[in-house]
Amino acid sequence: MSSPLQTAVMTMLKEAFEGPANPKETWFTNNEPNSGIFGALEEISAHKASILVNGTTLAGHANHVRYHMWGTNEFLKNGTCPKMDWVKSWEPTVVGENDWIDVQSELRSEYLRLVAALDLIEYNEPISNEVLGSLAHSAYHLGAIRQIVKQVCPG
């Protein structure tokens, strides 16, 4: 059975990626249904995902979040942190349409893998830190993604 904290983590993670479950009761996103990472990225073309804004692109952010989530999933699966190449995690920065579809699909796959894992894990301090860190990391990048979207899709 889930604790209230485990339930809250799942609620917040889903809001970060899927947007609010109930737009009248958001915790940290805007009230629009597309306020999560997936909604912020879904209408973005590969061209716009490849526009450099303050040293990075939407494609880079999306892949970086996917990579971090992969690391969290590996930690939950194996109990140890995998070796991570954080510089490479920001690639690709420029994508074609098919690559952009792949980046978003792989991000969604890692997210779904994490959601499934959260129902099965036994929480302890290292696992709790990893899961909460992943949630905070994702929320941080949601904010960055939404700011870049404003730059590449003004108006």
The DSSP string of 124-145 is: -HHHHHHHHHHHHHHHHHHHHH
Pairwise CA distance, residues 139 & 37, whole Å: 9
Q: Is the pTM of this model over 0.85?
A: yes
CA distances from 151 to 110, 114, 146 (A): 27, 30, 9
Would you state the pLDDT for residue 6? 87
Mean pLDDT by 10 residues, the chain (155 residues): 82 91 77 87 96 96 97 93 92 95 97 93 91 95 95 87
End-to-end CA distance of the chain: 46
Would you state the pLDDT for residue 142? 95
Pairwise CA distance, residues 71 & 63, whole Å: 12
Nearest Cα residue to 95 out of 52, 142, 146? 52
Would you state the pLDDT for residue 1? 46
